[in-house]
Amino acid sequence: MSGITRIESVFARARAEGRAVFMPYHAMGFPDRAHTLEIIRTLGQGGAELFEIGIPHSDPLADGPTIQTATWTALTQGTTVKECLSMVRELRDGGMEQPFCAMTYINPLLSYGVERFVEDGAAAGIDGLIVPDLPPEEAEELEGACRRAGLATVYLLAPTSTDDRIKYVTAHCTGFVYLVSVTGITGARSELPPDLAAFVARVRRYTDLPLAVGFGISTGAQAAAVAAIADGVIVGSALVKAAASTRGLEAVDALGRELAAGAHSDRPANIDARPKGEIV
Average pLDDT score over the chain: 90
At 234 the three-state DSSP class reads strand
Beta strands in 118-237 (DSSP E): 128-130, 152-154, 156-157, 177-180, 211-214, 232-235
What does the pLDDT look like over 6-31, one tens digit per residue? 999 999 999 999 999 999 999 999 99
Task: Label residue 65 by pLDDT band (50, 70, 90).
Answer: confident
Please indicate whether residue 189 or residue 246 has the higher confidence score (pLDDT). 246
- Which range, of 59-63, 65-69, 257-261, averages the lowest pLDDT? 59-63
Q: What CA dihedral angle connects 109, 113, 115 and 118, to 10 degrees?
A: -40
Mean pLDDT across the stretch 114-123?
97
The reported pLDDT for the residue numbered 277 is 38
63 is catalytic: yes
Q: Which residues contact 93 (CB under 8 A, 6 or more apart)?
A: none
* Predicted confidence (pLDDT) at residue 268 exceeds the cutoff of 90: no
What DSSP string describes 148-161? HHT-EEE-EE-TT-
User: What is the pTM assigned to this prediction?
Assistant: 0.89
Tell me the backbone φ, ψ of residue 158, rounded to 5 degrees.
-115, 165
Which secondary-structure segment (H or E) carries 26? strand 21-27
Q: Which of 8, 63, 253, 258 is catalytic?
A: 63
The reported pLDDT for the residue numbered 63 is 67
The reported pLDDT for the residue numbered 210 is 98
Between vectors from CA 170 to CA 204 and to CA 52, what angle results, nearest 5°? 95
Query: Is 3.30.300.30 the CATH number for 3-263?
Result: no
93 is catalytic: no
Q: Which of 8, 52, 120, 127 is catalytic?
A: 52
- Which range, of 64-68, 120-124, 213-217, 226-230, averages the lowest pLDDT? 64-68
